[in-house]
Amino acid sequence: MLKKNDFGGKIRNIIFANLIFFVLFNTGINMYYTIKETRDALKKGEITSETLVNDSLNNFESDKSAPIPLNAFIEMFEDAISKAQDADKQIKTAIENGTIDALFSEKPLLGLPFAIKDNMNCKGHRLTCASKILEGYVAPYNATVIDRLEKAGAIPLGRCNQDEFAMGSSTEYSSYGPTRNPINREFVSGGSSGGSAAAVAANQVLFGLGTETGGSVRLPASYCGIYGLKPTYGTLSRWGIVAYGSSLDQVGILGHTPADIAEPLSLMAGIDMYDDTSADLPNCNELKNLQGLSESDFSKLKIAIPKQFLKTEGADPDVVECFAQTRAWFEKKGAHVEEVDLPILDASIASYYVIALSEAASNLSRFDGIRYGRRVDNQKGYDELYVDTRSEGFGPEVKRRIIIGNYVLSEQFSGDTYKKGMTVRARIQKEVAKVFESFDLILCPTCPTAAFKLGTKVDDPLEMYLSDLYTTFVNLARIPSISVPAGYTKKDKMPIGMQFAGKMFNESFILQVAQSWENDHKNCGIQLL
């Protein structure tokens, strides 16, 4: 964990400062670090939206020809420039008329570019889920979350790389090739929302949207040294998001600070007539001007640490040490920290993969070569068309998960295994809810390890699945959780994330806690790259 008086932290800051200067001086990038900084510059006429978009486009084009491309974005949207120009016209007119504050009150994200994951419908643009089977597919409508951000003035900049159909923890299972970690390009960015996380960490965009089924926002946030929020199930509409595991899927947000997550969340949240699982978010207005907790709030704070997550088997010693330091920070702030016994969590990984893979097999059955997407027709009849299309269109990890899911749901089992998985899930929901009757927060690492080198786990699915050890219980319990940057590994200097989980629809509270963390640990997250 970085401390303000830490000599190593000071040295790292000097390195970062020099790197920032080099990047800004040599590439002309004008992207600011936070939404507030950028918005203030736009309101003062110090920067234009068109400049922000063009800088990102130029950075994207130059990165493609780099010896080791980052590969965060797989496509930039050409209409982003025209949308930026329109935003600039509105801003210029408002400045001249003295109505700039009113304009940004109506459209708080006006002119600000953001990234989307390649499984989100953005009208008129391609959507492939990083899979060959959806090659050439163009979205006919906007996902609700994108629609709401656009109404607030934000500009979809482009689609980001991901694990194929969001199935993976490293963004190596992509037909576009892997996304690399912007801190060290020999390492993975995490998955499945690794493209969005890398784009934010590399400051190619101010904030990004990802999706979560079992940790796919928090894991890449942890690996890339940024903040990543998985909201309560239903807080953000899933309309227009390609489904993986429908009872688990949730849109998440990645940003440099908790405030950069809170504001977009406030603008996207709420009931959507197209999504029956959507719900209103209480205390939504508190998110628009996020503040940390007061000292008196910390003195009342009760934090639970599951004993099952204190086991160090498979956990990197640096992660264990960072977790201990995070606990110590809470205790120093006056919070009461207590270890609790939740034996059901030992079954969370098994329950998650039974449910997720069963639902994935069902959801992906719609990709049949008939209705949309890729078609391989050798004129041998429907059965052959179906088999050939899916064999050629799906990658190995997607095939693996479809096979396992169909096996679980097969007539041989009559769905019994899936039912058992759902029974365990119900137990997890019940017991986690009981914890929140006495505690305000659950604290644990985001991942047992920091980012690993590309290729080291891609052929070992069981080892890859264990990356989700600390995250899946959150998705099963349908509670919100945020990963915060908490330190670096000693050897490779790769980021380590910790997660703060709260009770359902308590996003405002966990973001306030995260903001307090940010206030005391400004050097913990990755800076400009």
Active site residues: 117, 192, 216
Residue 387 tokens, joined: 């088999």
Report the interhelical angle of 35-43 vs 79-97 (nearest 10°): 60
- Alpha-carbon distance of 221 to 55, in angstroms, equals 23
Residue 295 tokens, joined: 């000292």
Alpha helices per DSSP H over 288-415:
295-300, 317-332, 348-363, 382-393, 396-408
CB atoms within 10 A of CB 289: 11
SS3 303: strand
The strand order across the sheet containing 227-230 reads 73-76, 155-160, 113-117, 207-212, 250-255, 227-230, 481-488, 495-501, 441-445, 302-306, 336-340
3-state helix, strand, coil in the chain (%, to 5): 45, 15, 40
Q: Which residues contact 267 (CB under 8 A, 6 or more apart)?
A: 108, 109, 148, 149, 152
- Alpha-carbon distance of 265 to 317, in angstroms, equals 34
- Alpha-carbon distance of 90 to 105, in angstroms, equals 13
Residue 481 tokens, joined: 């959780």
